Chains A and B, each alone.
Chain A
């Protein structure tokens, strides 16, 4: 009888953000569908009530079905039978439960039988599902692929595939190949137009495909013969019912075992072109990846929540030296830092989600009508912020997810190392979050230009304008000092005019910006609600120390330093 929405005040808090009013009005286009669909809201309050109710149902399914199944799913995992994936029994039950609860097509328009919920609700649901079972979150969360179809596919394709997603068919995005991982330009899976059959045919191999045997797959393939770069790649949609793709094997993974990671063989698989030829990687995959990174932000936060709760529970229960171990400073310090990082991750997750949602909604509206000049300006601002915050969120939240899982296991001591407690599964599941959908190192590559061009700095200055009542002013002063350190460090690195030096210090600078932004978000929450005071203080002190360390390192480094690190290249 657990409910992962109702038992989580912090999560509920983020649903009630002041920006929601605007966001909901835009999402519902001024409630234009209220007389067209019996489940469409009539006004803002009605819409919010709907969101709370749907999230409550999600929380219940997570607490009562998905979480209790997680251990069995982790042990049994999926299998390949006759070239297709058979899910673990618990996974099948999870799919049945979320389908019966109508939790598919969460963000799709009503005309495709979707729920038309704002992205923030989908991200919250994602977070709860990940807390219950991170592996299952992949299978369920891949419904997000439908958003890419909704944004770029023809009306005909949308009408064919989107209602199926709303009814509970699962999706996959088939990008990676044996020789094309982080470098997707190297994709070789071949798409050829068959004039006789009047269809595109796909031939080749994909690897590491999450839920690769899903009902509907988006496939990146080379449609332009003789090309070798991104410009020869197009996006296709493949329907499992055509039975032309075999699952050769499922990877044996460290964690997220319930999520089948497939190697696929395409043999004359019929497929339909999504959008325009040659735009596959350049435009559509970029959109897919950004959504996927937001998804990992949600997954990381959900796992962090699970880790924190396991640690807190164990620290209260376990007694040593005649008292519960939570009473020892070494343990309560760890737990307090964990809570601050968890709340900071969540604050960043929903700030980013709001930016993404606003720019996406404006994009959709721009297809329906001409935007007003001020709307266009807003769209530009939010696009830029979404672009800057997405990699930073993915970086910070997945790293914290790993730190929380590590600390939570540490609090369990020897017992945590055994298979007796859920923390060992959470620990293994967490490890993938800073690897897939772009490693932390690649997130830094995506984020660094927002350090050098000043996107982060200008947003930090925006945050600094907020008023801080009472003694919260002390934190505000600390954050201003942190920002000055950051500016100084960036100035030193950039002014050297050496791109290699920027790359060398990139992660340090990106994380400095991250600490300041996360501190500001928590400070803003603390100004709003007393409950956030502790986390705001704890996190800003932690961030301050991290920034000082990075600033010190940058201040003391010189160009020659890089050569020291290059020496390893000669070692074999």
Chain B
């Protein structure tokens, strides 16, 4: 009999930088979040799938999703519940705003101390910042071992998990004791789709603030009596965090300068397969230190 595990997925709602239009950036070089649709960070979906795989391997386990963000980030918690997560917690407070990776991982680690998971699963990195720092920093702050670039769970028992990692030059299989943190690579299995029954069951799941804004009495009564419709909403006070390590003040990252990089593709060259053309190209590549 396997032990029921407590799994927490770290997820982020990000602007969809894959479909960037003309107005994606503001004049000052910052991201124009209003112009981009907010989506579930893609590699966090890979992470959610791995968490659900662990749950499938260990029936009785629970998967909670933790996200830090503005109130509308509750959308990705609902999305996760539609796909198989048991519930979610939204970490939201003005004091969290403006956090870099250090302040973010501090805030998340405070919430994780409260949640006490056996396994923490995060996506490798988010498509808005591409730092890949938050997962490892959370592990450091909690003093937990970590496995990065995870691609597949090979086996799992009460004390350890065996994971395949996707590295630049190949695949590595490692074992790690629990509790632990893993960050999941985009090459891992895609997340399962939303499930029809779960969508119907969880579509009215709300955070307490969202529920306050609802002007439908019936719905409010429902949410009050159905525990599974309640999405957790924690403030700084709820996670007992130190204000100085949060938000702007807890973020040592200072943006020095932002440049608009415009790719200037030069016109393509057309070469024939004649030796002279190839020799010429080789000479050019060697001269530019592209080769050799």
Contacts and interface: CB of A to CB of B under 8 A. Distances in A.
Interface of A: 38-42, 49-50, 53-54, 57, 60-61, 97, 100-103, 115
Closest 6 CB pairs of A and B: A39-B200, A102-B196, A102-B195, A101-B193, A100-B192, A39-B201
A41 B200 contact: yes
28 contacts: A38-B226, A39-B198, A39-B200, A40-B200, A42-B218, A42-B222, A49-B203, A50-B203, A53-B199, A53-B200, A54-B196, A54-B199, A57-B193, A57-B194, A57-B195, A57-B196, A57-B199, A100-B193, A100-B195, A101-B192, A101-B193, A101-B195, A101-B196, A102-B195, A102-B197, A102-B198, A103-B196, A115-B197
B75 to A, nearest CB: 14
Contacts of B196: 53-54, 57, 101-103, 115
A38 B222 CA distance: 11
A101 B200 contact: no
A101 B193 CA distance: 5
Given A38-B226, A42-B218, A50 B200 contact: yes
Looking at B200, B203, B218, B228, the one whose CB has the most chain A CB atoms below 10 A away is B200
Contacts of A61: 193
Nearest to A60: B193
Nearest to A166: B197
Interface in B180-221: 192-201, 203, 218
Nearest to B222: A42
Chief secondary structure at chain B's binding surface: helix
A488 B201 CA distance: 56
Contacts of A49: 203
A60 B194 CA distance: 10
Nearest to B196: A102
Nearest to B84: A100
Given A38-B226, A100-B192, A53 B197 contact: no
Looking at B192, B197, B198, the one whose CB has the most chain A CB atoms below 10 A away is B197
Contacts of B193: 57, 60-61, 97, 100-101
Contacts of B197: 39, 102, 115
Interface residues of B, number: 15
A42 B197 CA distance: 15
B79 to A, nearest CB: 12
Contacts of A53: 196, 199-200, 203
A61 B194 CA distance: 10
A42 B218 CA distance: 10
A549 B109 CA distance: 78
B51 to A, nearest CB: 15
A38 B282 CA distance: 68
B182 to A, nearest CB: 22
Interface string B208-249: 000000000010001000101000000000000000000000
B203 to A, nearest CB: 7
A97 B195 CA distance: 10
A101 B197 CA distance: 9
A102 B197 CA distance: 7
Given A54-B196, A103-B196, A38 B201 contact: yes
Nearest to B203: A53
B127 to A, nearest CB: 15
Contacts of A41: 200
A54 B192 CA distance: 15
B218 A54 contact: no
B137 to A, nearest CB: 32
A255 to B, nearest CB: 28
Contacts of B203: 49-50, 53
Contacts of B226: 38
A545 B199 CA distance: 48
Nearest to A55: B196
Nearest to B204: A46
A101 B194 contact: yes
A42 B223 CA distance: 13
Nearest to A98: B193
Contacts of A101: 192-196
A64 to B, nearest CB: 8
A257 B288 CA distance: 53
Nearest to A39: B200
Contacts of A40: 200
Contacts of A115: 196-197, 200
Contacts of A103: 196
Given A53-B200, A57-B195, A97-B193, 12 more contacts: A39-B198, A39-B200, A40-B200, A53-B199, A54-B196, A54-B200, A57-B194, A57-B196, A61-B193, A100-B195, A102-B197, A102-B198
